């Protein structure tokens, strides 16, 4: 791709609405037991708050209208013993009803909290999830170290099987939130937090960093893809595969650009000499739906624009720009496209 064309791609991108081909998150569309508990609590709170709101506004209107009329008709009534007792009864009843309502919400909240913590964790999948400015690193644990693999910004999980996340942060505080599956949990530097989820129906669930973590906090997305178990097993086996040198000469030249240039200082491609740990592992980058932490659809034009000038797409990003000769850029894109 020529430099002029890749600049045109950047401009087209900057002027587009960045409408991604992946679904948006929806906290009211639960796909797992924990999101279901949270939606039930939300529904209860919304219903009770609506009733209280309607009653209060209604009572306020009645009070305003009646007081004006009664003050004109019976000016001494407000000071009578009888009226005083009547108001005391009304206020006492209102206080008791309010306290009972709040107590009911406290009990419902505690019950929800216990239900969230009570997810059965037999046969759980363990994923170590690390927050970086501004992307997610996911390492799939295994008792056999040779079976551990790492991916970024898009994680797959098997439907019906619980997942235990160990949450870490590399730089500042981030927060994991996949609204269709669970509530939020912070990722704090120097600490390991645990978060559990289970997806009960297949789908793509968008997650979002929910703690302000700097300039590109809003573009720190994560995709959780819940696959049927057999499909997940295939994905997992594929992720463990390393890559071999491409047979296509252009792509092979691209691998040389990758390994001999700056790419390999920050990115790893398993099975090659590229072993950088600062940026996302790119072993299977071509199989991911998005780029730059759910900022761009994973298309060749977007990838070229990103490699050339990442700061134009995500100002503040740690990835530097790459002013490559057009032939090298073309070869690099051909190589990255082989990393399925």
Q: Which positions from 320 through 339 interact with ligand CUA, judged by CB under 6 A?
A: none
Told to check if 129 binds ligand CUA by CB under 6 A, we report: no
Told to check if 213 binds ligand CUA by CB under 6 A, we report: yes
Which of residues 168, 198, 217, 284 is near ligand CUA by CB under 6 A?
217
Q: How far is the CB of 295 from ligand CUA (least distance, A)?
A: 13
Comparing CB distances to ligand CUA, the nearer of 33 and 131 is 131
Whether 107 and 99 have beta carbons less than 8 Å apart is answered as no
Told to check if 264 binds ligand CUA by CB under 6 A, we report: no
Q: How far is the CB of 103 from ligand CUA (least distance, A)?
A: 36
Which of residues 9, 129, 220, 305 is near ligand CUA by CB under 6 A?
220
Q: How far is the CB of 175 from ligand CUA (least distance, A)?
A: 7
Told to check if 137 binds ligand CUA by CB under 6 A, we report: no
Told to check if 285 binds ligand CUA by CB under 6 A, we report: no
Comparing CB distances to ligand CUA, the nearer of 220 and 304 is 220
Told to check if 212 binds ligand CUA by CB under 6 A, we report: yes
- Does a cis peptide bond (omega within 30 degrees of 0) precede residue 134? yes
84 to 123: interface string for ligand CUA, x by CB under 6 A: ----------------------------------------
Told to check if 209 binds ligand CUA by CB under 6 A, we report: yes
Where on the chain is the footprint of ligand CUA (CB under 6 A)? Answer: 131, 134, 174, 209, 211-213, 217, 220
């Amino acid at each position: 791709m020529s430099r002029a064309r890749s600049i045109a791609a950047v401009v087209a991108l900057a002027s587009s609405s960045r409408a991604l081909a992946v679904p948006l998150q929806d906290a009211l569309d639960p796909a797992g037991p924990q999101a279901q508990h949270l939606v039930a609590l939300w529904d209860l709170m919304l219903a009770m708050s609506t009733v209280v709101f309607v009653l209060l506004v209604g009572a306020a209107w009645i009070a305003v209208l009646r007081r004006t009329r009664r003050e004109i008709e019976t000016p001494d009534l407000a000071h009578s013993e009888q009226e005083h007792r009547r108001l005391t009864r009304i206020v006492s009843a209102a206080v008791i009803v309010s306290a009972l309502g709040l107590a009911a919400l406290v009990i419902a909240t505690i019950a929800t909290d216990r239900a969230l913590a009570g997810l059965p964790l037999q046969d759980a999948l363990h994923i170590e999830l690390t927050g970086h400015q501004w992307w997610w690193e996911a390492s799939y644990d295994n008792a056999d170290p040779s079976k551990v693999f790492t991916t970024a910004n898009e994680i797959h999980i098997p439907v019906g099987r619980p997942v235990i996340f160990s949450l870490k942060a590399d730089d500042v505080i981030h927060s994991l939130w996949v609204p269709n599956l669970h509530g939020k949990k912070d990722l704090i530097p120097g600490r390991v937090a645990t978060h559990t989820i289970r997806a009960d129906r297949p789908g793509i669930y968008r997650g979002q960093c929910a703690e302000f973590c700097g300039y590109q906090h809003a573009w720190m997305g994560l995709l959780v893809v819940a696959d049927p178990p057999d499909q997940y097993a295939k994905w997992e086996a594929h992720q463990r595969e390393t890559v071999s040198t491409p047979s296509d000469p252009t792509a092979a030249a691209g691998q040389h650009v990758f390994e001999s240039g700056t790419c390999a200082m920050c990115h790893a491609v398993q099975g090659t000499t590229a072993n950088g740990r600062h940026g996302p592992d790119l072993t299977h980058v071509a199989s991911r739906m998005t780029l730059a932490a759910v900022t761009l659809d994973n298309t060749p034009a977007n990838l070229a624009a990103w490699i050339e000038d990442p700061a134009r797409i995500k100002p503040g990003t740690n990835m530097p720009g790459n002013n490559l000769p057009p032939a090298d850029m073309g070869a690099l894109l051909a190589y990255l496209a082989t990393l399925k």
